Structure formats: structure tokens, C-alpha cells
Structure 1
């Protein structure tokens, strides 16, 4: 039986305190497989941008450039935390699940790593379940890191 070798791992991160844990889990998988690693952040297409579970603020369109710069810094900090200068970073704008799938296709990822949050019902209505949306449409395996949050 011939098995496919995992050569490229895409780690999708949101701007959340759990991102470090998701990155660590995905990077461990990539290192075990001696695979190339790419960190991805998707800037959500709507004007309301979720910074943490419990707060949101609106961003003016002219601030997207500043947001992109902040996200580059954020991904670079995660990269430093993982201690590997060869990790690639990528930022996309759009619908989260669709952008993750597009990024996976662009880099020819063999595995997609993402965190699955347990949000409250109201947040699920607004944001949807991105992990489920990726799972429904992906052509590559998913490595899902469960993220437990305090119920508020």
C-alpha cells in the first residue's frame, strides 16, 4: 500500500488567544512529517471584525491597511514563538472558510490545521461555524484543534 507523504501544512489562525495553541499543534504535526508550514490569517470580509470572543468593533475601510500590517506582525510573532524562520505566512481577505480553502489550493496543502471554538449560540448565528464549512468543502484532510472557552 502506497501512502501520500505530507509535504505542506496550512495552519489557519484567527486573532485570538488560542492561536498560539493551534499553531503549536499544527507545527508539531508539520515537524513530525518534515513538512513545509504556512500560517494563514483571514481578514473577515464584513466591516465588523472579531478581536476576541466577547468584543467586536467596526473597522473603517481605510484601516484595512493598518489591519493587514497588524496581522503580519501577529503572524511573525507566532512564527518567532515556534522558533522557525522558514515558516511561511499568508493573509487573505474574504469569507473565512472559502479563503482557507483557496489558500490550501494555492499552496497545494496536504493538511489544513484549524481551531474549532465552542462559542455561544449568538456568536454561532453571526459567525457561523467555519470549521464545519471547511470540512464540508475540503478536498484535503483536516487536523482540528479543539478550543474550549469559558461559558459567559
Structure 2
């Protein structure tokens, strides 16, 4: 294994995914790439980023109110830079894409010739799964490379 792609969302448990994925990458002496996908519009389901990234919450809604996809991308880049800083490895690369989550994760893994994808899953069930879908499940069904899935729960689910 030479390259590992760690896909992060803006969930509070992203810290667990980042740290576990990075530990795996270190153990395998692989190069790490952190990835975040923003939606293709300025609507964002959550304005909260993990405290590990330095964004406890956005009290200044100007970031989203401006309606700029570019502003979301800049915010995501800062988020990944803070995750990278918290992991303490300057060699980590970061990638921000916009649009479909699973599609972008799969495409990025293919482009970088990743040997493994690491991501979290919220293990939603029932109506939540039907309405929200499962990015991890979609990636699992369409990937041709190993997928390391880390189960995470939102604070409401714990």
C-alpha cells in the first residue's frame, strides 16, 4: 500500500476517522491524502465543523449567506489544513471537490491511484437511510479497491 485517501465530512466524529485513517497510513508507510466534498451549491446541511479542525461552529453566517461555492471550497480547504496540522504531518496532501459525495470520492481515488479509501459511516437505519442515502454504502458497491470503514455516531445517536 502506497497511497491512502481519507474522506472526511463535517461531522464531529471526523477526528476519529482522520486519526484512525492516518494511523493506518503510518503503519503501512503510505502517503496520506485528506479529502472533503462540498455540495455543488452554496446550501450546506450543517454549519458545524469538528473542533479538531478549529471550527467549533460558525457563528458568522456570512460564509454561507454569500451563496458562493468558492467560499464553501475555501472553508473546506481551511478545515482540511487544520486536520492536517492536528495530525502533525506536512507531507499530507489535501483535496476539495464539489458535487456528489460518493462519485467524487471514487473519482479522486482513481485519479490518485489510491490503494485504499478510508471513511466513516453514521450507520443510519430505516427512513434516515432511505432519505439521506449512504455515501459509504455507495462507495462500497462501486469501488474496486479496499475500503476501510470506521463506524461513527452523531452526538444525538450516542
The TM-score, its normalising length taken from structure 1, stands at: 0.85
- One of 140, 145, 151 as aligned partner of 1:146: 151
When residues 8 and 69 of structure 1 are mapped into structure 2, their CA distance, relative to the original with a 3 A threshold, is same
When residues 151 and 91 of structure 1 are mapped into structure 2, their CA distance, relative to the original with a 3 A threshold, is same
Alpha-carbon RMSD across the aligned residues, in angstroms, is 2.1
Segments of structure 1 that go 5 or more residues without pairing to the other structure are 1-5
- One of 23, 36, 47 as aligned partner of 2:18: 23
SS in 2 for 1:114: strand
The TM-score, its normalising length taken from structure 2, stands at: 0.82
Aligned-pair CA distance for 1:47: 5.3
* Structure-2 residue corresponding to 1:92: 97
Distance in 1 between residues matched to 2:132 and 2:44, nearest whole Å: 10
Segments of structure 2 that go 5 or more residues without pairing to the other structure are 49-60
Q: In 2, are the aligned partners of 1:44 and 1:95 still within 8 Å (CA)? A: yes
Q: In 2, are the aligned partners of 1:120 and 1:151 still within 8 Å (CA)? A: no
Relative to its length, the structure with more strand (as a share) is 1
- One of 5, 16, 21 as aligned partner of 1:10: 5
